[in-house]
Amino acid sequence: MAALEEELTLSAVPLCAGPDGLLGVEQSDKTDQFLVTDSGRTVILYKVSDQKPLGSWSVKQGQIITCPAVCNFQTGEYIVVHDNKVLRLWTNEDVNLDKVFKATLSAEVYRIHSIQGTEPLVLFRKGAVRGLEALLAEPQQKIETVISDEEVIKWTKFFMVFRHPVLIFITEKHGTYFAYVQMFNSHVLSKYTLLLGQEEKSVIQSFTASLDRKFISLMSLSSDGCIYETLIPIHSSDTEKHQNQTVVRSLLLKTVVSGNARNSPALTVLDQDHIAVLGPPLPASKECLSIWNTKFQTLQISKELPQGTSGQLWYYGEHLFMLHGKFLTVIPYKCEVSSLAGALGKLKHSQDPGTHAMPHFVNWETSQGCGLESQSSELSKRILRRRKIEASVQPEIPASKQLLSTIKNDSEKHIEIELRKFLASKQTPDFHTVIGDVVVGLLGRCQTEPSFYPRNSLMQLIQMQVLSHSLCPRLMEVALEKSDVQMLQLCLQQFPDIPEAVTCACLKMFLNIGDDSLQETDVNMESVSDYTDAIQDEKMEEQNEILQNGFNPEEDNCDTCDKELNGKPQNTVEETSSCPVIPKRAALLNAILHSAYSETFLLPHLKDIPAQHITLFLQYLYFLYLKCSENATMTLPGIHPPTLNQIMDWICLLLDANFTVVVMIPEAKRLLLSLYKFVKSQICICSELNKIEVSFRELQKLNQEKNNRELYSIEVLEIL
């Protein structure tokens, strides 16, 4: 659910915001630090969590900044343009903007864009685009004119699409809007005319855009208060290249803000389904920041801003920036994926008490308590004086943060060492969330760097027994991609809340993976220790007898199938006494059997497994059942073997999901017949047990009556 947290005000230095508000807020290369450019002469670098400025730079009197300062993520320098044409580059160490590098360009700059992973782009007022490096190499180069004379750039945004920079800008000419999409690498520029549709008269007041696979989803907020969406293709088809195409906009959300507001409203995309809108919801009301879910067309949360805003809204990371009254206000925004398991906190019961470091009962309050604690510590951080005390009281927090930064940059080996150090230190109450953050950090790096796969570190973290699938949903996905069966087995053993789809994907992989590649892996074999090399010389007759578990199937209607089965006794012996899968695969399958699931969610996924794999798995389960029924306690040997209930449940599930398929396969026929027989015997056992229970109760009653008779006695007691 989307949630707005308490706002922070960056009020250390009053901004000299003009009537149009600020020029811009941009990210810097360090998280939590942002460049704020006011409409006058000043650029300020803020650290948001501390609510204090780290640096401030101004241009000379008479000069005026015309374009918001940005950070070059590749070099860490800051770039600003003043007086339309003069480019300034500086770093944190520089004090005076007059003395820093300066380049005067030949055309007026509209904006500089800079995002992570590419060099900054400079967009000129006439629509031309240049890379910063190329521009600095030859500042006075000629800049072409792209857009027509009366066109004015209204809004622009820069994306990375499949590692290629793409720039979109919107221009306006006599009430008509055009969208230009510039593919920077291929230098292809596509132009689109935005058709306003029925709402011809409305004026577009604000734009925002997000990437949606092959399209740029451009959202516009019109003066009628509605939000419209326009899909602009990134790669236009070749034939229509350079031609003026038209795109239509469709209504996305109706009347989110009042039509005739004093200030123009603003909007920004937060994620796939959420947008933030700044503006008054009703003509008379005060301005509000509201978060809308576009998928469900619902207002998620809204916050009143009584002192008015400048109609500008920026969103970076998890912070929304806006000018509230005279001060720049930051509202942290979070949209957490709610997970049922996270809420329920299911815990698997571990059978060996020695290895468990968890408390005996689930304390539902601690996580809550922790949350409150951290919130309160955040609150108190605002008071600088107290912050020092906090820091000395809680030295663990920096340790985890340090580890997270290590993960972002260092080598696998180094991370492993650091991690070991961290794990050896004292466990804090919020230990599991910290571990979760560490895993998410590691996986995040896996995602960006395909070669990075810190297997040992991940294994070590899983073995801490505090992780769950909902804490690090990407982990099993990555392991599945890498076909890392050992890791998957460990996850299946440790996580209490694996979604059924993932369990089933694991099952598919375990059944599918070749015997040769399995032999190379190092799988935990404790659940299969003995029974695969069980004594083979047991006689079939004996087994048959025990299989009935005391029930004599004389009046069994299944005589014919018995005969059929006994017709090839050689085969039967083979089928029942040797394991149909190799021990390593058996260990993996046992991990599946142990995992928690809900039938309703598992069944649809089981249908996707190929028929021969289903048969193999059924054969294995049947084999386990036979092994189970060999002893009186109905258990398997080994340290942590699958229980009879788990075996039975899985047999039922597989048959339920794939019955029509299995029935058609000739090699499964024998198996089905045997299964039918054992189900029948199970039903008989249950009915017998229920009968016995009644008899036992009678015995118990008799026993009680016997006790009751001794209502009075005289005994001798000696007390010393």
Shortest CB 375 distance to another protein, Å = 8
- Helical ranges in 629-668 per DSSP H: 644-664
- DSSP reduced 3-state for 329: strand
- Identify residue 64 by its one-letter amino acid code: I
Among 363, 380, 483, 519, binds another protein (CB under 8 A): 363
Nearer Cβ to another protein, position 389 or 686? 686
Piece of 74-82, 172-180, 181-189, 359-367 that binds another protein (CB under 8 A): 359-367
Shortest CB 454 distance to another protein, Å = 24
Shortest CB 430 distance to another protein, Å = 8
- Choose among 345, 205, 343: nearest CA to 264: 205
Q: Assess 448 for contact with another protein (CB under 8 A).
A: no
Among 203, 344, 389, 391, binds another protein (CB under 8 A): 344
Among 339, 377, 463, 544, binds another protein (CB under 8 A): 339
- DSSP reduced 3-state for 327: strand
Q: CA geometry: angle at 668 spanning 663 and 674, to 5°?
A: 100
Phi-psi region for residue 715, left (φ > 0), alpha (ψ -120 to 50) or beta? beta
Nearer Cβ to another protein, position 77 or 497? 497
- Give the pairing of strands 314-316 and 319-324: antiparallel
Ranges within 679-708 binding another protein (CB under 8 A): 683, 686-687, 689-690, 693, 704, 707-708
Nearer Cβ to another protein, position 271 or 533? 271
Spatial distance between the Cα atoms of 616 and 511, rounded to a whole number of angstroms = 8
Q: Assess 364 for contact with another protein (CB under 8 A).
A: yes
Q: Assess 334 for contact with another protein (CB under 8 A).
A: yes
Piece of 205-213, 635-643, 657-665, 709-717 that binds another protein (CB under 8 A): 709-717
Q: Assess 336 for contact with another protein (CB under 8 A).
A: yes
Spatial distance between the Cα atoms of 505 and 519, rounded to a whole number of angstroms = 20
Contacts of 687 (CB under 8 A, 6+ apart): none
Ranges within 481-520 binding another protein (CB under 8 A): none
Contacts of 509 (CB under 8 A, 6+ apart): 480, 483, 485, 488
Beta-ladder partners of 62: none
Question: How distant is the alpha carbon of residue 286 from its chain centre?
Answer: 36
Phi-psi region for residue 634, left (φ > 0), alpha (ψ -120 to 50) or beta? left
CB 219 within 8 A of CB 269: yes
Nearer Cβ to another protein, position 260 or 375? 375
Nearer Cβ to another protein, position 198 or 338? 338
- Identify residue 633 by its one-letter amino acid code: T
Lateral strand order in the sheet of 215-222: 152-161, 164-173, 176-183, 188-195, 244-253, 227-233, 215-222, 204-212
Nearer Cβ to another protein, position 362 or 639? 362
Query: Residues touching another protein: how many (CB under 8 A)?
Result: 46
Among 150, 162, 200, 343, binds another protein (CB under 8 A): 343
Q: Assess 357 for contact with another protein (CB under 8 A).
A: no
Shortest CB 320 distance to another protein, Å = 17
Burial annotation 366-382 (CB, 10 A radius, 16+ → b, else e): ebeebeeeeeeeeeeee
Q: Assess 368 for contact with another protein (CB under 8 A).
A: yes
Ranges within 394-433 binding another protein (CB under 8 A): 430, 433
Nearer Cβ to another protein, position 284 or 337? 337
Shortest CB 551 distance to another protein, Å = 13
Nearer Cβ to another protein, position 2 or 15? 2
CB 118 within 8 A of CB 131: no
Shortest CB 401 distance to another protein, Å = 15
Piece of 27-35, 303-311, 342-350, 598-606 that binds another protein (CB under 8 A): 342-350
- DSSP reduced 3-state for 706: helix
Q: Assess 713 for contact with another protein (CB under 8 A).
A: yes
Nearer Cβ to another protein, position 28 or 470? 470
Enumerate binding residues for another protein (CB under 8 A): 1, 3, 334, 336-339, 342-345, 361-368, 370-371, 374-375, 430, 433, 470, 683, 686-687, 689-690, 693, 704, 707-708, 710-720
